[in-house]
Structure 1
Amino acid sequence: MNIKFVVVGKLKEKYFKQGIEEYAKRLSRFCKFSIVEVPDEKAPESMSQAEMDQVMAAEGERILSKIKDREYVYALAILGKERSSEEFAKELKDLTTYGHSDITFVIGGSLGLTPAVLQRANTQISFGRFTLPHQLMRLVLTEQVYRAFMINEGSPYHK
C-alpha cells in the first residue's frame, strides 16, 4: 500500500518535522509513505477575491499534477465528512480490500482547495470546524493514518 500526502508549502518548524518523521518511521512497517510538497503561491496580505482565486488556481494545478488517475484521493476540507478514528481505520481497510492500494491525502494552502481539486477527490475529510495551521495538520493527519493501521491491527495504541 502507498500512502501519499500532497501538500502546499514547505514545512519550516523543526518540531513538526520531527513529529512527522517519527510517525513516518512507524508507518514504514505498514505502507510506503511519502509527502510531496508543491510550492505555495506568493500572495500579499490583503487580496481581492479574483486574486485569491488566482492563487488557489495556481496551487490547485500544482496539486493535480502530482495525482495519478489510479489514486484514491482524500481532500482535507472543513466542510468534508467528519469520521471517528475507528471509522477512518475501517475505511482505509475497506479501500485496500477493494483494490485501492494508492491512497493520497491533499492539504491545500492557506486559502483552501479549488473546486477542481475537490472534484478530483474521491471523498472529503474534515477534522472538525477548527482552523489549524497547515503544518500542524500534516502532523495530525500522519498520526491519524498511523492510528488507523494500529486500530486495524488490534493494537492497544488506540486506547
Structure 2
Amino acid sequence: MSQKEIAILAGGCFWCMVKPFDQWDGIESVISGYTGGHVANPTYKEVCTGTTGHTEAVQITFDPTVISYSEILDIYWQIMDPTDAGGQFVDRGSSYRPEIFYTSPEQQEIAEASKAALDQSGRYDKPIVVPITKASEFYEAEEYHQDFYKKDPEHYARYSQGSGRVAFIEKHKA
C-alpha cells in the first residue's frame, strides 16, 4: 500500500462489522476492539459490564487512493441502524452503541457531511443519532473475536440473522 489511513467505527457487535469491510479492495485490515472509554486494556468481560465506557468497534486500515473514507462511511451507514443510540439490534447498552471516531480534522468534516446527507435523505423515518467523536486509544479485542465470521461461519450466520441485523439491512438498503 502506498498510503495508509485508519477509520474507527462502532456499530454494535464487532463480529458483524468486520465482514462487510473485509471484502473491499483497498482495505488492508479490519481489527475488532474496544474504544471510547476510560479503562486501559479492557477485556471483553469488562466491556460487557458497561462500566468501562468502551464500545465494541472496528479499526480499519485502508489505502485512501483505492477506497476513500467517504466510501467507507457509505458502507458503514448500510450495515447498522443509525437511528438507535442505545445499542444495535438485540445487543443493548453502551458497549454496543454506534459511534464514528475520527482520526483527523478531514475525517471529522467528511463524517459530519455524510451524516447530514443521510439524515436529509429520508431513508429513515427517525433522526440519525450516531455521535462523531475524536478517536481515543483503540484496544485490540481478544484473538477469538478477530475474523469471527471466518472462524465460525455457522455461528456468525445464525447470530447476524437472529439479531435482526440482516433483516434491517435488507429493509433499508440504499
Is TM-score (shorter-chain normalized) higher than 0.5? no
With the length of structure 1 as denominator, give the TM-score of the two structures. 0.34
